[in-house]
Structure 1
Amino acid sequence: MKLFNWEYDFDPAFPIHLFPFDVTGNRDSMHWHRYHEIGLCTGGTGKFVYLNKVYTVSPGDIFVSNNYESHVAISDAGEETQYLFLIFLPSIISAPSGQSVDAQYLRFLQYDPLRFENRISAQEPAAAPLGELIRKAYETYKAGGEFCQMELDILLRQILLTLSRARSASSGTVRNGPGQNPKIAEAREYINDHYNTRLTLRQVAGHLNLNESYFRHLFKDEMRISFKAYITLLRLANAQKLLIASDQSVNEVIQEVGYSNISQFYKIFELNFKMTPAEYRRRYREDRET
């Protein structure tokens, strides 16, 4: 099953799209995409799961996902979570023939995924103005008209400027384009589609027609994490999603995310979360009921 999803056929001349989206349960798979995404929660509660992070979701929260970090939104039991999403390709802001200042709007999106704070909480000072800008951009997008693209261009830049101020200084070292290497993009797509199989570095390197040693170093340089650690975190992120939002048994979850050795999974899970999978599930459900 393809985990690289949520593709959109953008207008090459103006690659931006805004749309409302409802999340029910855990129907969507962990995924990534080649565009940047900004999501405003407009109703309901739930969770947003990233590679090594889980955020609670409430109305007014804003979530930022760049064009290489794996993630998925899920709703709380009995809830439907509503979002307003803004998605765009980097080329709408920063093209090779553009001004050098254009690239600065996207610089904060070249973040370290293990350290970046994806959520702008509704309580943060930047949340309210960002929410207003996103809603205004959506209304402009729906209305169309002669000056629609000009106004959307201004609004998108205002949104990115506000996000840059809110996140660049507090979210770790900004990086130079991880995931931009086409071989790494291809590798991540293949890994995300096969993470729950007996996947090896040699197998992925072979798929890319690359030397195994070269691919090992290239992956770590681009992703700031080793191949083995990335696979582990991807499996754990999917396990978290299933523990939070499904009624599958722990053993069923373990098998679904690609572990054949149950004791090994327990050891890795407890090492990362300081609790057992059953305790993790129980804590989430207790938090949801309070």
Structure 2
Amino acid sequence: MPFRTIEISQPEFAPAGVSFVTVKSAALKRRADISLYVPPAASAGPLPLVILLHGVYGSHWAWLFKGGAHRVLDRLIAEEKLPPMMLAMPSDGLWGDGSGYASHADADYQRWIVEEVPAAATLVDPRVARAPRFIAGLSMGGYGAMRLGALHPEKFAAISAHSSCTDIAHMQGFVEETAAQFVLAEKEPMSVFECLKQNATRLPPLRFDCGSDDILIEHNRTLHHQLEEAGIPHVYEEFPGGHTWDYWNEHLADTLRFFGKTLG
């Protein structure tokens, strides 16, 4: 048992296919929450796991109830024959306005995502233990997805990100906490590009996108150019739109299609 305690919602009281899970996290030294979704089309075989990371101010329910992630997945399964996948949508650990999904001196938000969230998902549905894992996110969550995917390339079959910060310093435009309050315990670079570069020969497939009116567009363009100059394979796309849930709801489909192609 990877957790001292685990609480799982009763299916009859939650939306169809949705589970809410609270575990005692050793990495965070406190309880933490995850929303999970298993589409009704899922078969008895292995079930790929998609970890979706939210942005600043949010929590585990944001991708479900602001982004409609479960409905996007169901639509793609029905209309485009996308293979069914489990969605695991954890909180970032709820430090300040956003933890950055990094290792802090007092809590390891990186380990929470990379090790404990998949363990909790496996306890809820053992089919994910035998299937590929993917990681994606928006804004701060896009930063977390790309950085953690780069640092742990052996754990993920593909990486995708939307409207991303590309360095933890970019969070300063969004959060109340100062840079000095982020007491990090990280030995690895905080720049997405530096993390991708140091594991360039081992990276899984990578894509990211950003809206042309997004406040973070220039950071994403810079990352794209850096990756091109370094010869690191990736897909980068720009679409109309800003830093909004309308944009993320629409383009989550691009992430799920990208993941689906790796399963073909």
TM (norm. structure 2) is 0.31
Which is richer in helix?
A: 1
| Higher Cα radius of gyration | 1
TM (norm. structure 1) is 0.29
